[in-house]
Copies of this chain bind each other. A is one copy, B any other.
Amino acid sequence: MYTFDQPLGRALSVAAGSPAVVCQDRRRTYAELGSRCRRLAGAMRKLGVAPHDRVGVIALNSDRYLELYLGLPAAGYVLVPVNSRLAPAEMRAILADAGVSVLFADSDYPGAAGVGHVLRMPDDYEDLIAAADEVPLGDGVTEDDLAALFYTSGTTGAAKGAMHTHRSLVSSALHFMATWPFDQQTRWLVASPMFHTGGIIATLATVWAGGTHVIMPRFDPDLAIDLIEREAVTHTLLVPTMLAATASAQLARPRNVSSLRYLSHGASPISAETLRRARQAFPGAELLHVYGTTETTPITTLLPHEERLLDTPLIRSCGQPAVGVEVRVVDQSQDEVPPGAVGEIAVRSPSVMAGYWQKPQSTAEVMRGDWYLTGDLGYRDEDSYLYLVDRVKDMIVSGGENIYSTEVEDALATHHAVEEVAVFGVPDPRWGEVVYAVVFGRVQVEPDELVAHCREQIAGFKVPRCVELRTEPLPKSAAGKILKRDLREPHWAGRQTQVSGG
């Protein structure tokens, strides 16, 4: 069955002497990695941690993080990776919500104060491993057991723990392997944080194939290129800002990046300009757009070979449903809408989460039978290429017209003075909602000028009724996303938001 011990077991069987992981000056074979994972399991048993207990980790990426990610679920525990950039109160809330009793941390995080047993990395961790006996992995573990809780970042209220089973994460690896080749020659660069599903998107696939992880503790574009060159990296995933920075660094000082054949990006929209520069900087690489969510592990739709699509309209799409994943665009009655019509994106797959940890109400809000409602609005074409439009909760309904906040934001962003922008609806007695924009300018500009600029580009009913200018950058989440909720909230104080999903 599809449990975490399977990929590791195969790697130990077919590639025990091959390099499993490279991180800074540490290199380990699969035999070494396997032994350390089995000793980690032994250590947890010795500590009295019971099967199904939640074990937290707050850390930068490392080879030890990889061991925790592979070893703890394989030993029957539930891994809780926590974003190391969260505020103490946010960390505390997550650790309490998950009931974490044992935590691995690579620094003295104030938010970890409430946890009974904190083990510091590397020292406590290495002591633990050194003193432990090896315990076999996978015993008593079934594919429907929880493997990990991934907390969704808090742009939509209190963080919720997406429950992923062994099967959801292992089947997601198979779905990725059905699109991209993984074998013993694969060298995957881990550049995104491993506490997000994007950071571990290829972990089980790489291990299953007996390939190598090349792990960066923290992202730096020049270091990324040096590692690609030195370690002959073949595959990676970068978020768009990382991809833009890495492409620029390579174009400024070219190194030998010919080993890089598979270059994916995801987590947020990407500009055609960034893709073009990526193509120029990494001419030997296939470009792949991955769309997905924490709840979908994340592989949902894929747009392969973007480098061949640069001059076609398809480049704006986030691709077609991955093998193993069903995607629908539905209306509020959960009926499919025809190609071209905007609706909410719904996903069904063995890779979808089992629900939110101890939040049946939140689970019920997003699950319709086996279908997960992403909260993303979009449409598909005749061949099921998916185009994202907006978040459901960011759509504005004004005088019966649907207005996508992103469309207005895009119009404002084309003005040279606009550095950051957020658009949302505010209550209005006549229209229900009207469009409201908050702008942080890079130079002085008058609201009237921005309104006039919009008028040239979008329909009158979409033009902001009000443009509020800020002298400071807009508030952002730990993941760097603008917290539109915080900007919108004061306008709706004491009222029920009219759009669902909030």
Interface residues, chain A, with chain B CB atoms under 8 Å away: 1-2, 6, 9-10, 13-17, 174-175, 177-178, 181-183, 208-209, 304, 320-321, 323-324, 326-327, 350, 370, 382-384
Contact = CB atoms under 8 A, between A and B. Distances in A.
Most buried by B among A9, A177, A323: A323
Contacts of A181: 181
Given A178-B178, A178-B182, A13 B208 contact: no
Contacts of A350: 1-2
Contacts of A383: 13-17
B178 A323 contact: no
20 contacts: A1-B350, A1-B370, A2-B350, A6-B324, A10-B321, A13-B320, A13-B321, A14-B321, A14-B384, A15-B383, A16-B382, A16-B383, A174-B175, A174-B177, A174-B324, A178-B178, A178-B208, A181-B181, A183-B304, A209-B323
A350 B170 CA distance: 13
A1 B326 CA distance: 10
Most buried by B among A17, A174, A350: A174
A6 B324 CA distance: 7
Contacts of A2: 324, 350
B323 A13 contact: no
Nearest to A170: B324
Nearest to A322: B10
Given A1-B350, A10-B321, 10 more contacts: A1-B370, A6-B326, A13-B383, A14-B320, A16-B382, A17-B383, A178-B178, A178-B182, A178-B209, A208-B323
A15 B324 CA distance: 15
Complex A-B, nearest 7 residue pairs according to Cβ-Cβ distance, in ascending order: A177-B178, A13-B384, A174-B174, A14-B320, A14-B384, A208-B323, A14-B383
A93 to B, nearest CB: 34
A1 to B, nearest CB: 6
Contacts of A16: 382-383
A323 B384 contact: no
Contacts of A178: 174, 177-178, 182, 208-209
A351 to B, nearest CB: 11
B326 A9 contact: yes
A2 B2 CA distance: 13
A177 B14 contact: no
Contacts of A208: 178, 323
B174 A10 contact: no
A278 to B, nearest CB: 22
Most buried by B among A208, A326, A383: A383
Nearest to A7: B323
Contacts of A10: 321, 323, 326
A283 to B, nearest CB: 21
Contacts of A182: 178
A120 B492 CA distance: 69
A14 B380 CA distance: 10
A13 to B, nearest CB: 4
A235 B72 CA distance: 40
Contacts of A327: 13
A414 B440 CA distance: 85
A178 B208 CA distance: 10
A296 B323 CA distance: 22
A101 to B, nearest CB: 32
Contacts of A15: 383
A318 to B, nearest CB: 14
Contacts of A175: 174
Contacts of A17: 383
A186 to B, nearest CB: 12
A331 to B, nearest CB: 18
B1 A177 contact: no
